[in-house]
Structure 1
Amino acid sequence: MLFNLARDVQWLLDNPQISRPLNWYYQQYMNLLMSRNIATASKRVNQKKLFDEFLFCYGQDILSYLDSCISLDNQSNWLFSIVRKHRKSFHPTRHILMMRFLCGSVREFFERTSSKYKPFGNPPWICFNGAVDHYLQPVIEDVKLSHCLENKKPLGTFTCSCGMVYSRTVSKSEQSDGYRPNQIITYGDRWHQKLQDLVENKNLGLRAVARELKVTTRTINRYVNKFGLNASWQSETTNFCHVNEAQQADNKAQNRQDWLELQRQYPDATKTQLRNISPALYGRLYRGDRPWLNNNSPFLQKPSVSVNKRVDWGKRDQNIKIQVEKAVQDILQEEKPQRVTLRKVGIMTGLKALLEHKLDKLPLTKTYLQETVESVEMFQDRRIEWAIKFLEQQGEEVKSWKIMRIAGLKNNCIKRVENILY
């Protein structure tokens, strides 16, 4: 491994003309990470997967020998930082390690990563416009890349010269471009004009129009209604709808009458009991006439509320205080500081609802929480002290900007940092 790294260094020294801006390296790293499914199309890196594969590639001994050790617990280590936007420089050895990890050698890295990330392959791509001659032909040259908000996969928006625009995602096993689109954004003017000609001028039927335009009958009906076209099949559908609406009105009236009759037969039955007696009738009213059903059903019979006076709140307060104290100690002992809040303590103890609504009945617990729950300022001070201790343990120089970065503080906290530091 060291010999291979030396060969990479020799190649770099022999080719000084390959120097690139810092952001170029970041972009190439991201392209290769996305191609290996370590990063998403939105450039979100799976740090656990990157750490595991990188460590498997080199091992801790080589990384330690090159002063480039990494730790999964340290979110600011150089491996995670080098795949973020480059706001600082990194040692050339670490760039070489990253290049060899991604491509096998530095030479292959510079020769193979000049092109952009292409999850859908190279153009042209297929057009699905059934109104043009190049239907199902690879003629599309334009694609815009983004990422799907649902599954974070690459999302391509393809635009054809005929006006059709569609989008689709790429699957892990996809290697070619013959798949149907996930969504048709627009069919284009040529498709709309042919639809109007087939419907109004040639007077074709619904299924015939769908076959001509290579889409479903539901799509044809949607666009006919959208553009207000006079289709031959609409008059038949309208007549059928009138007859169907009259039949539905009669059925609704009969269902209402049957429901009222059922209540007369069982005057003491509740709504749930009536539902169990005639589930089919209840289902028809629930799906098609729910407001009437709710207004013409027996009222909900609330059970009598009994006051439970057997709770020993004093003993419960003592037991809960012990659990709360343990949860607070667990929070304070976490490696990375976590704020002590009533909500977090409640979640850790499983008593969140009780602490939020019945805390006044637990005076011991309430007093303890008032003394230990941290405000924002208190938590900031504790993070600053933790960051100072962390830097001292690492043998690094303690600086205000380092403290703010490690503690995750904003610029408006600089005075607070300086007060504690000096």
Structure 2
Amino acid sequence: MLSFFTDPYPNELLYSAISRYHFYIGNVGFAETLEELFGNRAVTPSIDFGSNLSTFVKKVGNNYSVEKILTENTIYPFFAPFITEEKQKMVFEDVSGNSGGLKGRLGISSTKVVKKDGVFYCSRCSKEDIEMFGEPYIHREHQLPGIDYCPHHELLLRVYPVNYTEHSRTGYIRLDKRMMDLGNSNDDTPKEFKKVQITLAKMAYKLLELPNNKITLVNVFNKYRTLLRENNWITRNSAVRQEDLLVAFNSKFPKGFLEKYNSDMKISNENNWLAIVVTNPNRQGVHPFRHLLLMYFFNQDIESFLMLKEDEGPFGSGPWPCLNVAANHYKKFVITEVKVSKREKTDIIIGKFKCSCGFEYTRLGPEKTESEKWRKNRVNAYGEEWEAKFDELVNMNMHREEIAAALGISESTVRSKISIKNKSEQRTEEYRSNLLLWRKEFPNANRKQFQREFIKIFTYLYKNDRKWLDENLPSKRSDMLQDMGQKIEGYRSLILKEKKNDPKVTRSKLWYKYNRACKCLYEHDFDWYSVNFPATIKNRRNTSHVDWDARDEEYYQKIIEIYPNLLSLEKPVRILRGLFSKRLNLFYLSIMDQMDKLPKTNKLLEEITETVQEFQIRRCCIVIDKMLEETGVVRFEELRETCAVGTPYFKGIKPYLEEYILKKQNDKGI
């Protein structure tokens, strides 16, 4: 055990403390220092994380531990919240040894966020360190990748003139105040960039202060889901509105900011880092700096983000209340499980809640407020306890309105249930006769139609005479269980009958009119289908010759002539292909398949057609010209309202407009 080691200063990197130890101990070469601290002369210094910490701790004494050094004297806390709990444990093992798999574990090796090459410092922090400790040292908050400003003094970080990557493979750099620029210097960073970077720097510093492994990637993902749900970025089927989110995200930052830090994305790229962060909780390797960008987008700092409640799904976390008014546990949270499903056509989420008392209800999701826990969209089953209470109220000769109010149901439901309970042979025979007469009058009608028209009769027979009902008015399910041979014979006769009635009937018309029959015959009786169905009618292509070169030149000249007129319209319109097609009555301009035959015209259209953003900028520039001419001043809020540009989109085009205004003022000599 060593008799002396330089205890690290507040937020000092272990790398920096070792460099000071080497200086104080007076070793001639770094190999001796490495031997003393790590018992190995071949250890490679790591400025960010360190390695062989278990050996280091044994050498320097009991006041140190691997966990303490990792938490207080490396940049690991910057990465910890954005990896899984399993990887957090593996990182501890990595730094205890040679740190071989550490960078891959943290996702550093695969990211495009630029790693800092060199040692960075804040001039004012260094001055304060010299006054307090007599020497400067390397702060870990100044070495965080992507962070360019000091979180304490809001000053642009400076690069120490000695590059540690070139200094020595086994050497350590100690800050020397004689080589540092501690004076004031100009910062030419654009104001918009500086504002964002200072905020990110303060957020990054807060991450360094978090207790060891306080949260994991799963917690972070669920908090993002909460923010997405609150801001309506999640659809009813729990999917994320990725395109809308990406447009809003890009407009949050000054133009060129995301590009500077290799974090820009395009809508056409589905595998962008933003989509990964908000849709895949198991996908790791997204850099912490990008997580900070997303928190900034949601107007969150680290404290408010940690206080967020994690998203618990479309219906929250259980237990859920039983809404059986007849039960002693009414409105008590006794339901422990919910079955979540989706409607096929609409993707609407449905939650099914079933209590041990037999009461079962469904609710559409997702929940947006706490009060929605007490809502039910449909009751699937009432249960014995509820039915007993209903019978009790009926036997007391209570009025239907009173029963409905007491049990939370409608009067029509009360009437229907009383009718069902009044079972008798006379009523059963009467309802059977009614159904048979209806079938005789409408032989091709189905069970669903009868249920809609005669809900009372259908409900009575369904509850009290189910077997007879299924035999005389089978459901689709019964029809599906019908012998396939019988079904095919029926469908064959149906198609042959239609062909006999209409000899000119086409295959498309048969599929439109008898879709189920055609599909069944196609899948299960294809040989018969091929022989007996009408032949397909092939489209005949027009093979007349067209001189496409001459047409290309003609269209090109017409567009050149009309383009200036479209730009000078009193009410600006967006320049699109369809606009030229409509104004010039040129049909082919709207058919992209034909544009390959018109290369000159197509190239021109690609150059002059406008995106939504380009049109917004042009329209705003026209209004800016009027404002400068009339008052000499441009008020952005008035400009935004006049041009009817949404706030998120206006933020995206504002840098272009400011540049345009500056140019106009310079031209006029203002």
TM-score normalised by structure 1 residue count: 0.49
Between the two structures, name the one with larger relative contact order (CA 8 Å, sep ≥ 6).
2
